[in-house]
Amino acid sequence: DQQVKQNSPSLSVQEGRISILNCDYTNSMFDYFLWYKKYPAEGPTFLISISSIKDKNEDGRFTVFLNKSAKHLSLHIVPSQPGDSAVYFCAASDQGGKLIFGQGTELSVKP
Amino acid sequence: EPEVTQTPSHQVTQMGQEVILRCVPISNHLYFYWYRQILGQKVEFLVSFYNNEISEKSEIFDDQFSVERPDGSNFTLKIRSTKLEDSAMYFCASRTGTSPINQPQHFGDGTRLSIL
């Protein structure tokens, strides 16, 4: 099941710089997209979401961009902080139903 | 901030035994979910539950699995006869039923199930 893909297993960024995490999807029925952050031995923590009627949603240092024609979304974190180091999962759903997750991208923010 | 709680954090069980994983969703939430993550793999949907019945289930969720909301607060996942391949992290999630329909699911910290 490759409906949601995160092609970069890892990303390393310097503190203070921008982190850009990418996600691609194939199912055009998806209408809601989410980003979760996960620390070891914890569950996924909701970070930010976007509905398919929008192309951008911003919450503090976090911005999610959605490009429906390319079936692509990205999460921008600026400025990146060492505490942002975690695994980030992209997820998608249709009509508020089950979430389909990507494989995750491990972000490392170096001081 | 309200959170989803799961117990136990780690469950070790002999193959063939029954196991019950417990979850207390956020109190005003109406939709409940179970997911699992096998080591090194994606988080996978198992089942969703609304209005005291299963609303959707994946092909993983076969006759060995069942869910129940025995009272107003708990949400359980039962595996009747565990197999080695059931070893995974099991996550419970819940979301509100308020409008708009697209609301985030909130996850517990999971139960690590180890089948010996």
pLDDT in tens, chain B (116 residues): 779 999 999 999 999 999 999 999 999 899 999 999 999 899 999 999 999 999 999 999 999 999 999 887 899 999 999 999 999 999 999 999 876 678 899 999 999 999 99
Cα torsion A29, A57, A100, B31: sign: negative
Contact criterion met (CB < 8 Å) for B33 and A98:
yes
Sheet holding A72-77, edge to edge: A4-5, A19-25, A72-77, A62-67, A56-59
Residue B59 carries which DSSP code? T
In the predicted structure, residue A83 carries a pLDDT above the cut 90: yes
What is the rounded CA–CA span in Å between residue B46 and residue B62?
9
Q: Mean pLDDT across the stretch A7-36?
A: 96
- Chain A: closest CA distance from residue B101 (Å): 6
Using the Cβ of A33 and the Cβ atoms of chain B, whether some distance falls under 8 Å is answered with: no
Q: What is the pLDDT at residue A19?
A: 98
Q: What is the pLDDT at residue B73?
A: 87
Give the residue on B whose Cα is nearest the Cα of A4: B42
- Chain B: closest CA distance from residue A54 (Å): 13
Q: Tell the residue number behind the tokens 């809601």, with chain if given.
A: A32
In the predicted structure, residue A53 carries a pLDDT above the cut 90: yes
What is the rounded CA–CA span in Å between residue A82 and residue B53?
43
Q: What is the pLDDT at residue A96?
A: 64
| pLDDT-based confidence at residue A16 (cuts at 50, 70, 90) | very high
**Does residue A24 contact residue A66 with C-beta atoms inside 8 Å?**
no
Facing B101 at nearest CB: one of A49, A89, A95: A95
A45, A99, A100, A106: best mutation site toward chain B, by most B Cβ within 10 Å?
A99
- Chain A: closest CA distance from residue B13 (Å): 20
Cα angle B71, B49, B86; round to 5: 95
Query: Mean pLDDT over all residues of chain A?
Result: 95
Cα angle B15, B19, B22; round to 5: 150
Using the Cβ of A96 and the Cβ atoms of chain B, whether some distance falls under 8 Å is answered with: yes
Using the Cβ of A54 and the Cβ atoms of chain B, whether some distance falls under 8 Å is answered with: no
**Does residue B67 contact residue B78 with C-beta atoms inside 8 Å?**
yes
Q: Mean pLDDT across the stretch A32-46?
A: 94
**Does residue A74 contact residue A68 with C-beta atoms inside 8 Å?**
no
Give the residue on B whose Cα is nearest the Cα of A50: B102
**Does residue A98 contact residue A27 with C-beta atoms inside 8 Å?**
no
What is the rounded CA–CA span in Å between residue B87 and residue B29?
28
Phi (first) and psi of residue A83, to 5 degrees = -70, -10
Using the Cβ of A98 and the Cβ atoms of chain B, whether some distance falls under 8 Å is answered with: yes
Contact criterion met (CB < 8 Å) for A99 and B45:
yes
- The residue among A53, A59, A65 whose CA lies nearest residue A20 is A65
Q: What is the pLDDT at residue B113?
A: 98
Q: What is the pLDDT at residue A31?
A: 92
